[in-house]
């Protein structure tokens, strides 16, 4: 089991850890990590791991068996032995881009209140696919509404509810293609705004900025028809 340090502090850029295992493919498993594993449309983190005179470049991170998180080296290289204490360093610029885009996509689902059928995140752009029968009439107005939410500098927080509570409130699940993971007894929620200023609440396991103003200005990109009932809406960091 790998302790997910990024879950408690998405801004943690360096941390220690201990090697608990290797995978047959050459991946590295630690007892605790700051690296987010690919999932929910968000890419896995990269960076580096160092120990003694050794250093390993991490290309990405994925989920393993159970609660294991696997660091994937950029190229085949000798791994630190099991039991070795290591220092982890995150590719922060890339991760922070993911956090900004991911949070902006939550807000995009607010200004386009339609079922989400897919999504993707990168460090400077992202997109959501919506079940959208009619084209967007005023793209400029949509972009203005999105940036207005960002500029309100709303606080972004997370909380946990039981699976039973989620079942009782199915409307908070916006994604049609991916359901929140079941079987652990609880589900993580990400909330944007607080009290009367709350604008969004949905299950999500990704990393986000602490306040919406940190996203910066967003530019709306292409709106593409993807199938009979779906349209893809892209956003870019301006």
Which residues of the chain are in CATH 3.30.980.10 domains? 95-237
The span from the CA of 101 to the CA of 127, in Å, is 9
Task: Please state which of the four CATH numbers 3.90.550.10, 3.40.50.620, 3.30.980.10, 1.10.10.10 is assigned to the domain occupying 95-237.
Answer: 3.30.980.10
Query: What fold characterizes domain 3-90?
Result: Elongation Factor Tu (Ef-tu); domain 3 (2.40.30)
The pLDDT of residue 93 is 98
- Candidate from 91-105, 122-136, 182-196 with smallest mean pLDDT: 182-196
> Is residue 232 a contact partner of residue 221, using CB atoms and an 8 Å limit?
no
Give the model's confidence band at 144: pLDDT under 50 very low, under 70 low, under 90 confident, else very high: very high
Domain with CATH 2.40.30.130 in the chain: 3-90
pLDDT in the model for residue 168: 82
Model confidence band, residue 213 (pLDDT cutoffs 50, 70, 90): very high
Q: What is the DSSP string of 146-201?
A: HHHHHHTT-BEEEEEEEHHHHHH-GGG--BSS-PPP-SSSEEEEEEES-GGG--EE
Residue 185: C-alpha distances to residues 181, 194, 205 (Å): 10, 25, 15
Give percent of the chain above pLDDT 70: 96
Mean pLDDT of 7-24: 97
Point out the least confidently predicted range of 19-23, 31-35, 126-130, 168-172.
168-172
Q: How far apart are CA 82 and CA 79, in angstroms?
A: 9
pLDDT of residue 173: 82
């Amino acid at each position: 089991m790998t302790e997910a340090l990024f879950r408690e502090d998405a801004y943690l850029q360096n941390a220690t850890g201990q090697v608990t295992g290797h995978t047959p493919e050459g991946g590295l498993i630690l007892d605790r990590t700051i690296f987010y594993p690919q999932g929910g449309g968000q890419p896995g983190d990269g960076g580096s791991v160092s120990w003694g005179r050794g250093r390993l470049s991490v290309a990405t991170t994925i989920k393993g068996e159970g609660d294991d998180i696997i660091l994937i080296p950029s190229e085949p290289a000798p791994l630190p032995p099991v039991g070795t204490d290591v220092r982890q360093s995150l590719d922060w610029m890339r991760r922070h881009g993911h956090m900004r885009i991911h949070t902006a996509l939550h807000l995009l689902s607010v200004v386009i209140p339609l079922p989400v059928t897919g999504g993707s995140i990168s460090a400077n752009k992202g997109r959501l696919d919506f079940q959208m029968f009619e084209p967007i009439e005023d793209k400029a107005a949509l972009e203005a509404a999105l940036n207005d939410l960002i500029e309100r500098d709303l606080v972004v927080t997370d909380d946990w509810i039981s699976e039973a509570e989620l079942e009782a409130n199915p409307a908070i699940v916006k994604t049609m293609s991916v359901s929140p993971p079941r079987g652990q007894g609880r589900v993580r929620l990400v909330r944007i705004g607080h009290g009367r200023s709350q604008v969004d609440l949905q299950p999500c396991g990704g990393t986000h900025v602490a306040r919406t103003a940190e996203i910066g200005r967003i530019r709306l990109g292409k709106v593409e028809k993807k199938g009979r009932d779906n349209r893809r809406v892209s956003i870019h960091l301006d």
